[in-house]
Amino acid sequence: MAGEPDAGFGGSVDEIVLPHLDAAYNLARWLVRNPHDADDVVQEACLRAVRFAGGYREGNPRAWLLRIVRNTAYSFLQKKRPTELVEQFDELLYVPERADAEIEMIRSVENRTLQVALEALPIRFREALVLRELEGLSYKEIAGVMDVPIGTVMSSLARAREQLRQRLLGDRAKEARRGLRE
C-alpha cells in the first residue's frame, strides 16, 4: 500500500516517488506529446511503482521511476495512439512574465522552434535528450531507464544533438531565404 515502508526502499514509497513526480511528468509529456495523456501515463506509472516497489533494491529511485514512466508511455503509445501525433504548445510555460512585447515574441518563437525541432526527432533520440539535458540523468542512469548499453546512450545523444542542430540550422536557413533572418 502507498505510504507504507518497503524493505527495498528503506522508507515509504511516497517518500521515494513523490519527489520525482515533476521529472516523471516531464518525461511523459515529451514522449506522448499531450499533457492530458502525460497525466494518465504518470498516474499509471505511479500505480506500477507502488505495485512493484518490493522489486526495487538499490540505485537511483528517480531513474527507477523514470524507467517505469518510459515503459508505461511506450505501452500507452502502442495501445492508444500508434500513429497519431498531437502537437500542443503552452506558451505560458516559455514566456517570462515581465518581458516587453518584442522580447516576449522573440523568445516565444525561439522556444516554439526548439520545441518543434525536438518533437520532430525520433522518439528514442528525443527521449535520450530529455533524460540528459532536461532531467540531468547520467549516461549510466539513462542506460538503465532506456534498458540499453551506455554506448547506445552516447551514440543516441550524439545523433540526437546532430539531428536537432541540423533541424534548427535548416529552419534558420529557410527564415533567411524568406527575409525573416539575417
pLDDT (0 to 100) of residue 176: 60
Domain membership of residue 119 (yes or no) is no
Q: Which of 10-14, 120-124, 151-155 has the highest mean predicted lDDT (pLDDT)?
A: 151-155
Domain membership of residue 150 (yes or no) is no
Domain count, the chain: 1
Q: What percent of the chain has pLDDT over 70?
A: 67
**Residue 53: domain span:** 1-88
Plot region of 137 (φ>0 → left; ψ -120 to 50 → alpha; else → beta): beta
pLDDT (0 to 100) of residue 120: 86
Contact between 20 and 61 (Cβ < 8 Å): yes
Domain membership of residue 72 (yes or no) is yes
What 3-state DSSP class applies to 12? Answer: strand
Domain membership of residue 135 (yes or no) is no
Residue 60 vs residue 47, higher pLDDT: 47
Domain membership of residue 108 (yes or no) is no
Question: Which is nearest to 123 in space by CA: 17, 33, 18, 16?
Answer: 33
Of 43-52, 91-100, 107-116, 122-131, the poorest mean pLDDT is in 91-100
Domain membership of residue 143 (yes or no) is no
Q: What is the pLDDT of residues 67-84, one digit of tens each?
A: 999 999 999 988 876 554
Domain membership of residue 133 (yes or no) is no
Exposure string for 144-174, b = 16+ CB within 10 A, e = fewer: bbbeeeeebbeebbeebbebbeebbeeeeee
pLDDT (0 to 100) of residue 152: 94
Q: Give dist(CA 114, CA 89) in Å, integer.
A: 11
Grid coordinates representing 76?
500507452
Residue 46 pLDDT exceeds 80: yes
Grid coordinates representing 137?
540523468
Containing 131, the helix (H) or strand (E) segment is none
Domain membership of residue 162 (yes or no) is no
Looking up residue 58, the CATH number of its domain turns out to be 1.10.1740.10
Backbone φ and ψ of 11, nearest 5°: -175, -170
pLDDT band at 181 (very low <50, low <70, confident <90, very high): low
